């Protein structure tokens, strides 16, 4: 008769952090949206968009040192946009070319292993502040205030999200972004800069009307860095159309009872549905970038419609025009990816066919 005891039970596997990350993304987005509209912040949809980028790319709260560093980066981005204003006003051709070069360098920095958040803030600062300042310097100051306040709200949402839904013990930090080879990084950065430039030029004509187009173009520029020509149409155009459909459904639901708390609760629900797809809790064949761009599109369209309603504008006509512009910008981004990937694909096939 064996005297050995029962075999020790293996420890349970660590819980998956994906559910908590989905809850953090949804709650942080909804909180920033409600807070920015409730506090009457300038460009209120900017805070939730920044929160989406921040929460989707970080699985750790920011330390005090990192928070100070991020604030300094924000100051640099605003400063870079302000420095371009005199050049864009007095020497527009040179100013546009310099802006395009700065966008190229900002995207290349992220693709070569740099911080993607820093790259995104640089692109936002270069485009939004310089275009606003060229039209009206006071508007540039308003955009700077919106960026700083929106970033502070996003950082607070990140800290609160990690307090409410902390990462399971033993979860490793998010892996660093893999750096592309220099030639590939330069090519993809050029493509992303070309995606953003037409929206930047359009916004310079009237930033008060076309500012949402800049935000959409920045999101498309980020997404174009991670998608291939084969999947570009489905990911770029599909996510834009789905974001528009979700915005229509959201508006219909919000119209049943218009209140800030209902705005928060509906955004929490819609963001959670998208976050489940993004983190794979509800399996899908689409890439995470598809769902991230869908959520960004939803927030921009919905936030602008709420502002139109408060200003007494025709919400439905404005939505149709804005959605048409979003689709146009997306089709242009798809075209850039197709055109700039074809020569490289041909060059890659030529050595194989010569053997």
The candidate with the shortest Cα–Cα distance to 124, out of 40, 208, 50, is 50
pLDDT per residue as tens digits for the range 261-292: 999 999 999 999 999 999 888 888 888 888 99
| Better pLDDT: 352 or 330 | 330
pLDDT at 70: 75
pLDDT per residue as tens digits for the range 168-211: 776 666 666 667 777 888 888 888 888 899 888 888 888 888 88
CB neighbours of residue 280 within 10 Å? 13
Overall residue count recorded for the chain in this entry? 355
Beta carbons of 131 and 200 less than 8 angstroms apart: yes
pLDDT at 151: 85
pTM of the model: 0.85
pLDDT at 354: 46
Eight-state DSSP code of residue 285: S
Tell me the mean pLDDT in the region 22-30.
93
Residues 6+ away with beta carbon under 8 Å from 63: none
Rounded distance between C-alpha atoms, residue 152 and residue 162, angstroms: 16
Rounded distance between C-alpha atoms, residue 314 and residue 285, angstroms: 38
pLDDT at 301: 92
- The separation between the first and the last C-alpha atoms of the chain, rounded to the nearest angstrom, is 71
Angle between helices 137-164 and 207-224 (to 10 degrees): 50
């Amino acid at each position: 008769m064996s005297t050995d005891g029962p075999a020790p039970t293996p420890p349970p596997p660590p819980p998956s952090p994906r559910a908590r990350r989905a809850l953090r993304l949804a709650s942080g987005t909804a909180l920033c949206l409600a807070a920015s509209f409730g506090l009457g912040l300038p460009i209120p949809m900017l805070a939730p968009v920044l929160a989406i980028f921040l929460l989707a790319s970080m699985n750790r709260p920011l330390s005090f040192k990192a928070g100070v560093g991020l604030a300094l980066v924000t100051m640099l981005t605003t400063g870079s946009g302000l420095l371009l204003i005199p050049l864009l006003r007095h020497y527009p051709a040179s100013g546009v070319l310099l802006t395009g070069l700065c966008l190229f360098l900002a995207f290349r920095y992220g693709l070569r292993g740099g911080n993607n958040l820093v790259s995104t803030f640089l692109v936002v600062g270069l485009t939004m502040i310089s275009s606003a300042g060229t039209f009206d310097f006071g508007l540039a100051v308003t955009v700077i205030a919106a960026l700083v306040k929106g970033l502070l709200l996003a950082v607070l949402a990140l800290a609160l999200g990690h307090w409410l839904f902390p990462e399971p013990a033993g979860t490793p930090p998010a892996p660093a972004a893999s750096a592309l080879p220099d030639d590939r990084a330069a090519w993809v950065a050029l493509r992303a800069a070309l995606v953003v430039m037409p929206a930047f030029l359009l916004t310079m004509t009237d930033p008060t009307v076309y500012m949402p187009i800049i935000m959409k173009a920045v999101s498309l520029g980020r997404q174009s860095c991670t998608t291939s020509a084969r999947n570009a149409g489905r990911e770029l155009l599909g996510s834009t159309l789905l974001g528009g459909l979700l915005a229509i459904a959201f508006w219909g639901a919000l119209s049943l009872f218009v209140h800030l708390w209902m705005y928060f609760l509906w955004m929490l629900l819609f963001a959670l549905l998208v976050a489940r797809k993004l983190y794979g809790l509800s399996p899908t064949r689409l890439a995470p970038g598809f769902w991230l761009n869908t959520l960004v599109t939803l927030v921009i369209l919905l936030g602008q419609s709420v502002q139109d309603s408060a200003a007494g504008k025709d919400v439905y006509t404005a939505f149709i025009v804005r959605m048409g512009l979003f689709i146009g910008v997306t089709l242009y981004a798809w075209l850039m990816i197709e055109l700039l990937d074809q020569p490289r694909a041909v060059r890659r096939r030529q050595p194989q066919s010569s053997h």
